[in-house]
Structure 1
Amino acid sequence: MEEILNKFAQFAFLASGLMLAAPASAADYEVQMVNQGPGGQLMHFEPAFVSVMPGDTVTFLPTDKGHNSESILDMTPDGGSSWKGRTNEKITVTFTVPGLYGFKCQPHFAMGMVGLIEVGHDTENLNALVGVRLPPRAQARMFELFAKTIRGETK
């Protein structure tokens, strides 16, 4: 009986090690580009704030026509990639470098169509993003999104 228990313990130990070594699969998040958000806000990313882990992807969907998604100059972490989708283009971005990434719809940037992606719960570059000058409506909206990351929200 003791030999059976020993074998079982060895098996359980090996199985737990395999489970820890198995890579977690990356998740894909979707952000819709819409003319009107759920709260009535015109020209909106839904959701406008997304918290992901390194290796995850975000797919920007042109739900309504006339929108694009692109990173905002100086609003990506050091070593992070920027992106620029064309108008009406579905674009998928993989995030590997932790930090905050600001993004916009270029045609509706001045109207406040901006968003924020938090990668790996890392907010180290928040102060740098706060210092980036944006059009007034975009700035106001971005500060609302900064508040979400400060509060630890995930959506």
Structure 2
Amino acid sequence: MKKYFFLTALSYAFITQGAQAATHEIKMLNNGKDGIMVFEPGYLKANKGDTIKFVPTDPAHDVSSVSIPTGAKPFQAAVGKAITVKVNEEGVYLYECKAHLPMAMVGVIQVGAPKNLSEVKKSAQSLSPQFVMHKDRLDKYLAQVK
């Protein structure tokens, strides 16, 4: 009887683990709470296995990964196209809108522990000189990573 109870509990744990995965939406905006040309939210804390949907609100936006955890799949969407990304690896994901990089249109997703934060910060250092506006935006997002 104990063996049956243990197997039932274990099965339930696996079933509910998949049910806990969430879907998050990140909008690509011309104007948002952090100014012009932003991803909203610019910083997102997600769980391993969650799905992130990047939604352009204007046909001029794109999104692509800049720095991602080891084992994660790089992502890139064409200009004006939505993309859905499943975050299966723990760490920090840094992404950009190439068309609006001079306006610091970048974002950060944290999944679990920030294992690769030092690598992401190095990538951020190479991106930052390209910013003409909102030069502190990426620093503000990275400061939220804990």
Equivalent positions of 1:103-118 (< 5 A) are: 103-118=95-110
Equivalent positions of 1:118-137 (< 5 A) are: 118-119=110-111, 121-132=112-123, 133-136=126-129, 137=131
Matched, 1:86 2:78: yes
TM-score, length of structure 1 as denominator length: 0.79
| Cα deviation, residue 48, structure 1 | 0.8
SS in 1 for 2:39: strand
Amino acid in the other structure paired with 2:32:
G
**Counterpart among 43, 46, 49 of residue 40 in structure 2:** 46
Partner of 2:88: 96
User: Separation in 1 of the partners of 2:41 and 2:50?
Assistant: 16
Higher strand share: 2
**Counterpart among 135, 138, 142 of residue 146 in structure 1:** 142
User: Separation in 1 of the partners of 2:14 and 2:78?
Assistant: 39
Comparing 96-105 and 135-144, the one that deviates more: 135-144
User: Separation in 1 of the partners of 2:93 and 2:6?
Assistant: 40
SS in 2 for 1:88: coil
User: Separation in 1 of the partners of 2:59 and 2:14?
Assistant: 44
Is the Cα–Cα contact under 8 Å of residues 109 and 135 in structure 1 kept in the other structure? no
Q: How big is each residue's C-alpha offset from its partner over 1:102-148, in whole Å with a ceiling of 9 and x where there is no partner?
A: 000010011100000111x2211111111121133376322111111
SS in 2 for 1:131: helix
SS in 1 for 2:144: helix
Q: RMSD of the alignment, in Å?
A: 2.3
Radius of gyration: which is bigger? 1
In structure 2, runs of 5+ residues without a counterpart are none
**Counterpart among 62, 70, 90 of residue 64 in structure 2:** 70
TM-score, length of structure 2 as denominator length: 0.83
Comparing 137-146 and 29-38, the one that deviates more: 137-146
Comparing 19-28 and 63-72, the one that deviates more: 19-28
Q: Percent identity?
A: 31
Structure 1: which 4+ aligned runs deviate by more than 6 Å?
11-15
